[in-house]
Structures are given as structure tokens and as C-alpha cells.
Amino acid sequence: MPTHDRGPLPLTPPQNGVWFAQQLDPTRLDYTIAEYLEIRGAVDPELLAEAVRTTVAGTETLCVRFAEVDGVVHQIPAG
């Protein structure tokens, strides 16, 4: 899993645009995406949960939170 010691980072221009648009109209779902996968056959729930945790931990974009400080939005990497 990547680690960062740079602290809060500025948003990229596309992230900033999405953030701004969401603030203008929080009901818009343009960037809310869902997907599902049908699994046929037996599944070990503990093994599946561990696989999901490993995938999320190794995917940098899923390990970022966003915070607004003094009117400026930052992305804050986990870890």
C-alpha cells in the first residue's frame, strides 16, 4: 500500500471541477457509479472480505478523503 508523508494535497483540475459541480447541486449523481458482479457457486465470505480489503488498500484512489479548510478543498491520502 502506498504511503504518503506530504500531508494534504491540492485537487487536480478535474477533481476541483467535480467538487465544485457537486457543491452547486448535491442531488446530481453524475459521478456516483455502482457496479455489481454475480458470483455463481460457493463463496468463502471471509476470503472474499479479505480480497476486497486488499484491493481497496492497494488502490490509491480509494484511500483518499477530501476536506475543506478555509474554503480550499484538499485531498488527504490515507496512511
Report the pLDDT value the prediction gives residue 24, as an integer from 0 to 100.
92
Query: Does residue 18 have a pLDDT over 60?
Result: yes
Measured CA distances, 62 to 27, 28, 31, 52 (Å): 22, 21, 14, 12
pLDDT at 65 over 50: yes
| pLDDT over 50 at 14, yes or no | yes
What sign for the dihedral angle of Cα 13, 17, 20, 26?
Answer: negative
Amino acid of residue 49: A
